[in-house]
Amino acid sequence: MRPLTELSPFGTARAAVSAGAPSGDDDETALLAWLRPVRERLAASFNLEEEVAFLAWELGRLPDGLNRQERAALILLALTALVTLGQGSTRLPFRDRAVRLDTARQLLPAEEPVLGLDAAQAVAMADALIESGRANAIIGDPDDFKPLIVDGPYLYLQKMRALEERFAEALRRRIEGDGDDAGWPEAEVSAALRDVAGRPAMRGGTALPLSRDQFAAVRVAASHRLAVISGGPGTGKTTIVVSILRVLRRLGLPPEAMLLAAPTGKAAQRMGQAIQSGLRAIAEPSPEDQDLEALPEPRTLHRLLGYSPSTGRFLHHENNRLAGRLIVVDEASMIDLVLMERLARSLRDDSRLVLLGDDHQLPSVEAGAVLRDLLVETDDGPSPLGPRAVRLTESHRMRPDDPDGRNILTVSQAIDRGAPPKFAARRTSDDLIVERNSFAAVEFRGVEFLEAPEGAGVIDGFLDRWNLEVVRNLADFDHLVGRRYHLGRDGFPEAEQGRLNQLFDHFDRSRVLCLTRVLATGADRINDLLHDRALVARPAGTFRDDDLIPGEPVMMQVNDYGRMLFNGDQGLVLLVSEAGRPAPMVVFRRADGFATHRIGSLRSVLRRSYAMTIHKAQGSEFDRVALILPDADIPLNTREILYTALTRSRAAVTLVGSRETLARGIARTARRCSGVAERVRGPRPPA
């Protein structure tokens, strides 16, 4: 009989694994002693919370009749699967011993004195337990309902395999439904396309016709119930969205049936602004174009699907579907499998789903790389979506009058290909990174590189320049950030709104980007350093060191549905006078004006955002970007994260760090293992 375990309000596994050094010689005590250093390595090597160790511990205790080494081998297998999930993959290449050994060696101490079990022995022992059926309590076949599932050469957490299956089934139904009567005749689609093409947007008196790529993408979206469109910076994805809306309005779809969404509040806001700008640029709008002024405002996916944080559930699902007949989702590379599955199963059978993004950017923070999976071409064939997948290849940033934009785009494309960086003292071709010999020599044009040896003070000197020439480089900056803004019953008066827009536009033009929040080169540290410089500019004693001071940019770290604020929303701390009483408040810009909230109610969920992580910057675009590279190489340093960082900027990227760290990042890819593509493609026909 298994010994009784004392209950704990924190969970029995958490209490056991977190307790002090165990004493005794029984199996459970020995396993706890073995697991503690493993738990520490989970945090240090994989940035995973201790809950992962608790879950693996519980799984390893379930099978009966195992000795302590066999239980340790199963715990290590469960940890490897959970580490793989934490790194973004939906499955573990179970038969690939090298992959499992690599993770096991990172988890186990080099000298493991407690159980005398090394990584190779643990991997072999887990395999033997599975083959013999002695681990059947926790590991099953695809038809079983067990925590871990062996499916061919892969090991899944049961939940992730079920999500893949349900998502793929929803997409296959959408693809199979393309042929019924819910669409429009080809002649009507072509007529609507011609009318839209004949009323192009204008810029500076010059017509901006749809390119061949863009025209094809719009046709696909109008002709199919599912369209996935991927393109890098400058390929005109916003132009495509506006054109899709215009075409479908001409085909009779009312604006209220068109739903727009993005993964984050910032991305949704940018999407709405870009669409409205595109509609205003039409020189000769038709009545149908004018109807689009009534478009619903873009929302986050969580808001679109009616997520309730109190219950953890969504209002919309397969039994309560979204009313929209067109759903357009921007920045789809940021969407994980869980949210994408929920979206796909919440759509009406006759609706159209359009996903847009750049599959070369960073994949989602959580598990999955859905956009990439839906576009991937393998030995099994082309994209699983066939003609519904569109890649945009023509960039409109490659203009003769924009050499800095061309430089950024060309260097970004080289990084995406994994090509070693090319440095030069001056730019003689678009693929070169100009190396500056000091922070004073940086020109903030195109792609520049500044070597920053650890401890040499280069980053401090660069931030001095950034603070003076970027953060504070606005006429009347001190007056605008230090004045009182008067808030009336109907919001801010027009003059105040003009000043606020001036400030928000200024801060939206530039950002420091970092790979992580932590470390000496992380966003938290850079924010502290720029905060210190802001304090110096104020009279001594005006603010405490840890205060959020007027003029500082801040970012929400969580969703606050009561205030309609979302993770990633960015605001400014300003002094606001309401009913004659001035107080520091956080001001957020919205499509219809500004929202204000007292700092005290939000302080715990706000973080300064002079600098932000590259993950947080997805969905944003700036004129200037500084990328602070880590002092030493880290696993997060990949070509995808570097490509994403560079493509956030339109005109200037300054890389600050070491050549070696940059080269190592370009050489490393963020590999994710997933079965989405093969499940959407369906089983291969017999040979």
**Domain match, 388 and 408 both:** no
Q: Which domain holds residue 410?
A: 403-667
Helices and strands: H and E segment counts in the chain: 25, 27
How does residue 4 score in pLDDT terms, banded at 50, 70 and 90?
very low
Antiparallel, parallel or unpaired: β 484-487 and 570-578: parallel
Q: Please give the pLDDT value at position 380.
A: 56
CATH number at residue 635: 3.40.50.300
Q: Is residue 119 part of a domain?
A: yes
C-alpha Rg value of the chain to the nearest Å? 27
**Nearest C-alpha neighbor of 555 from the set 566, 544, 543:** 566
Q: Is residue 596 part of a domain?
A: yes
Q: Is residue 685 part of a domain?
A: no
Q: Please give the pLDDT value at position 45.
A: 66
Q: Write the pLDDT tens digit of every residue in 603-619.
A: 889 999 999 999 888 87
How does residue 154 score in pLDDT terms, banded at 50, 70 and 90?
very high
Cβ pair 316, 308 in contact under 8 A? no
For tokens 């309609």, what's the residue? 564
**Domain match, 419 and 303 both:** no
**Domain match, 264 and 388 both:** yes
For residues 202-223, average pLDDT:
87
Q: Is residue 594 part of a domain?
A: yes
**Domain match, 388 and 493 both:** no
Q: Is residue 681 part of a domain?
A: no
Q: Please give the pLDDT value at position 9.
A: 40
Alpha-carbon distance of 294 to 313, in angstroms, equals 30
Domain boundary among 122, 152, 182: 152
For residues 525-532, average pLDDT:
94
**Domain match, 540 and 589 both:** yes
Q: Is pTM beyond 0.75 here?
A: yes
**Domain match, 197 and 182 both:** yes
**Domain match, 146 and 170 both:** no
For every residue of 565-577, DSSP letters joined together read: B-TT-EEEEEEEE
Q: Please give the pLDDT value at position 114.
A: 53
Q: Please give the pLDDT value at position 443.
A: 94
Share of the chain above pLDDT 90, in %: 47
Domain boundary among 345, 367, 396: 396
Q: Please give the pLDDT value at position 110.
A: 67
* Helical (H) or strand (E) element with 288: helix 287-291
Q: Is the pLDDT of residue 440 over 50?
A: yes
**Number of C-beta neighbours around residue 599 at 10 A:** 15
Identify the DSSP state of 138.
T
Cβ pair 513, 645 in contact under 8 A? yes
Domain boundary among 101, 128, 152: 152
The larger pLDDT score, comparing residue 367 to residue 147, is at 147
Q: Is residue 589 part of a domain?
A: yes
Alpha-carbon distance of 258 to 352, in angstroms, equals 10
**Domain match, 505 and 473 both:** yes
**Domain match, 134 and 272 both:** no
Q: Please give the pLDDT value at position 379.
A: 55
Ranking 19-28, 95-104, 290-299 by mean pLDDT, the lowest is 19-28
Q: Please give the pLDDT value at position 165.
A: 94
How does residue 194 score in pLDDT terms, banded at 50, 70 and 90?
very high
For residues 246-267, average pLDDT:
91
Q: Is residue 4 part of a domain?
A: no
Domain count of the chain? Answer: 3
Q: Is residue 545 part of a domain?
A: yes
For tokens 């000043």, what's the residue? 499
Q: Is the pLDDT of residue 387 over 90?
A: no
Q: What is the mean pLDDT of the chain?
A: 86
**Domain match, 56 and 73 both:** yes
Q: Which of 4-8, 26-30, 172-176, 498-502 has the highest mean pLDDT?
A: 498-502
Q: Write the pLDDT tens digit of every residue in 327-359.
A: 999 999 889 999 999 999 999 988 999 999 988
Ranking 462-466, 662-666, 680-684 by mean pLDDT, the lowest is 680-684
Alpha-carbon distance of 442 to 654, in angstroms, equals 8
**Domain match, 38 and 175 both:** no
Q: Is the pLDDT of residue 209 over 80?
A: yes
Q: Is the pLDDT of residue 21 over 50?
A: no
For tokens 């675009």, what's the residue? 621
**Domain match, 69 and 146 both:** yes
